[in-house]
Amino acid sequence: MKLAEGMIAPEQLLRLRVEDLLTREADLLDRWELDQWLDLYTDDAHYYVPPSDVDGDTASPDTSLFYIIDDRTRMQERVVRLKSKGAHSEWPRSKVRHLVSNVIAERTDAMILARASFMVSRAKDITHDIFVGHYRYKIAEIEGALKILEKTCVLDMEALRPHARISIIL
């Protein structure tokens, strides 16, 4: 279909809407606005980080040992923990910067599927670690707004080295 001048194709609009969502998420995480970050997710959401020696695009947390297997309850508890001074690994808080790019989005019957590349920098004390990988999102459209159903952070790294931890939210 040829679009009139100034119009935007639906698939481009979808990508822009997803990019807005991902940019907002990155910004909230960088500013440690973790309660607001949770609001981007549905009540039955999941957050996963598979290890480097399985195919992170296809591995299941039900059958492989992951780094992170969070359901919504554990995501909330993760935020509670990270806001506490007793989360020693993140106290004082590290400086975090999420760079998100190469966003691809497609609409299926049930949901929106999106992928994006990321580099996440964590600096604290004498350590400065870079996490590199790609996100796989499942996104729901609820009353016209986009909410995240599932986020999987696939590390494009051979091991979590020299890193020792994923104590921030990727």
Partner 1 sequence: MNLATGIVNDAASSRFLVPRKAFTDQELFEKEYRAIFNRCWLYLGHASELPEPRTFVTRTVARRPILFTRDKDGEYQALFNACPHRGAMVCRERNGKAGAFMCMYHGWTFGSDGHLMTLPGGAGYPEDFKRDPQKQMVHVPRLARRGDFFFISFAEDGEDLDTFLADAGDYLDLVSQHSATGMAVVGGTQEYSIRGNWKLLAENSVDGYHAACTHSTYLDYLKNANGALGATPLSGSGIDLKNGHAVIEYSAPWGRPIASWVPLWGEEGKQEIEAIREELDKRLGSERADRLATKNRNMIIFPNLVVNDIMAITVRTFFPTAPDNMEVNAWTLAPPEESDWLRKYRLFNFTEFLGPGGFATPDDVEAIEKCQRGYAANNNDMFNDISKGMAREGEPSFDDEAQMRAFWIEWDKRMSECEG
Question: At closest approach, how far in Å is the CB of 168 from partner 1?
Answer: 10
8, 29, 169, 156 alpha-carbon torsion, rounded to 10°: 50
Can residue 130 be called a binding residue for partner 1 (CB under 8 A)?
Answer: no
Question: At closest approach, how far in Å is the CB of 8 from partner 1?
Answer: 39
27/40 Cα distance (integer angstroms): 12
Reported as type and span, the H/E element at residue 42 is: strand 41-49
Please report, as residue ranges, which positions from 55 to 114 form the binding site for partner 1 (by CB under 8 A): 59, 61-69, 73-74, 77-78, 80-81, 84, 86-90
81/87 Cα distance (integer angstroms): 6
- 6 or 86, CB closer to partner 1? 86
19/31 Cα distance (integer angstroms): 18
Which residues of this chain interact with partner 1, rule CB under 8 A? 49-54, 59, 61-69, 73-74, 77-78, 80-81, 84, 86-90, 126-127, 159-167
